Amino acid sequence: MRKPNSIAPQTRNNWLIDAVLFLGAIIASLTGIYFLFLPVGGYQGGRNPLYGVTIFFERHTWEDLHLWFGLLMIVAALVHIVIHWNWIVSMARRVWGELTQGQNRFNRRSRYNLLINAAIGLSFIITALSGLYLFFVPGGSHGVVDPVILFTRTTWDLIHTWAGILMIAAAVIHFSIHWRWVVKVSGKMVKASLPDFDAQSTPQITNL
């Protein structure tokens, strides 16, 4: 018999993956906002007098946090996609059927939720790919011809920035839509992790 505060294994796994994804997204977003307002270009006393400003950490530490938590978010998102792949395929088929056959398969709320999910997915792919490009392709100071792939490094940086902003905005809306689920499951996770004092305090009765 399942305890009142117990959680189904699938729900627990979803929560854990979402928690890792959330942690990576929060740190990557905060560090991204840091670079948005304190851009890389310029130098102290030059066209960007804020370049040398230190907020909590040195600039290279912010770069490392943005890089590694961004990679953590990418890995967690890939695991999230694999776990929910059947749902993604099912939704894609339903959307395709509605578009091609004119069938009304979604209500207004479902369409809105799918639109937000699509915005998150598309902006995440663009942000991740542009971020990986900026990570693996060195800047012009390394003697590399620019552009290497399609666009200049500056354009890739702009794509990375604005796709990230769109992803953050869509993720905030997504989080607000599923807030009740987050609170409910998080509460159960906390209660399940705590020792069962009631069970420990109940005297054990044995047959003589």
Grade residue 42 by pLDDT with cuts at 50, 70 and 90: very low
Give 56-68 pLDDT, tens digit per residue.
777 788 888 999 9
CB burial string 56-74: b at 16+ within 10 A, e below: eeebeebeebbeebbbbbb
Q: In angstroms, what CA-CA distances link 18 with 62, 119, 120, 130, 148?
A: 23, 18, 14, 23, 35
Residue among 160, 3, 27 at smallest CA distance from 19: 27
Question: How many CB atoms are located within 10 Å of the residue 103 CB?
Answer: 10
Give 143-166 pLDDT, tens digit per residue.
556 666 778 888 888 999 999 999
Give 117-135 pLDDT, tens digit per residue.
899 999 999 999 999 988 8
H or E segment to which residue 112 belongs: helix 108-136
More confident residue, 74 or 111: 74
Q: Specify whether the CB–CB gap between 186 and 18 falls below 8 A.
A: no
- pLDDT recorded at residue 44: 47
Q: SS3 of 57, please?
A: strand
This prediction has a pTM of 0.72
Q: Specify whether the CB–CB gap between 20 and 76 falls below 8 A.
A: yes
Q: Which residue has the tokens 């938590």?
A: 69
Residue type, 13: N
CA angle 88, 174, 8 (to 5 degrees): 65
d(CA 207, CA 189): 36
